[in-house]
């Protein structure tokens, strides 16, 4: 699914570029390139973002709200201002405990198929 990028050469407030939608997950790309992407995601209370195992690490920062994040068999509570790195090749599930906005950064290294990190 394509998500429109933020216009280059303009200022913006990260937490304001995406708005909540009732019982939905809304994604807005800041940058989306073959080498990686930066996105802001708004997740309504109770909604679940299920991710299959991906071949690269993902940086997640909670901008607003509270999340329950399961990585493999571990569960974390990530709150406003906190960050976590989701390791490559491990399935994760993110649940919005309360309305949630997150910043996601994925940088593709070119080593995804080799297991090198």
Q: What CATH class is the domain 14-107?
A: mainly beta
pLDDT of residue 3: 63
Query: Rounded to two decimals, what is the model's pTM?
Result: 0.84
Torsion, CA 36, CA 67, CA 4, CA 85, rounded to 10: -10
Span 4-57, pLDDT tens digits: 788 888 888 888 889 999 999 999 999 988 888 999 999 999 999 998 778 899
C-alpha 52/C-alpha 79 separation (Å) is 23
Rg (Cα) of the chain, in Å, rounded? 14
The 10 Å Cβ neighbour count of residue 86 is 21
User: Quick one: pLDDT band at residue 2, thresholds 50, 70, 90?
Assistant: low
């Amino acid at each position: 699914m394509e998500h429109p990028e933020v216009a280059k050469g303009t200022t913006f407030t990260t937490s304001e570029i995406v708005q909540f939608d009732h019982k939905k997950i809304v994604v807005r790309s800041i940058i989306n390139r073959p080498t990686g992407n930066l996105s802001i995601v708004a997740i309504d209370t109770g909604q679940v973002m299920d991710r299959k195992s991906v071949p690269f690490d993902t940086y997640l920062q909670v901008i607003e709200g509270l999340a329950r994040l399961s990585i493999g068999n571990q569960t974390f509570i990530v709150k406003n201002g906190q960050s976590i790195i989701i390791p490559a090749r491990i399935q994760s599930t993110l649940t919005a405990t309360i309305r949630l906005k997150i910043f996601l950064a994925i940088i593709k290294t070119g080593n995804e198929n080799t297991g090198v990190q």
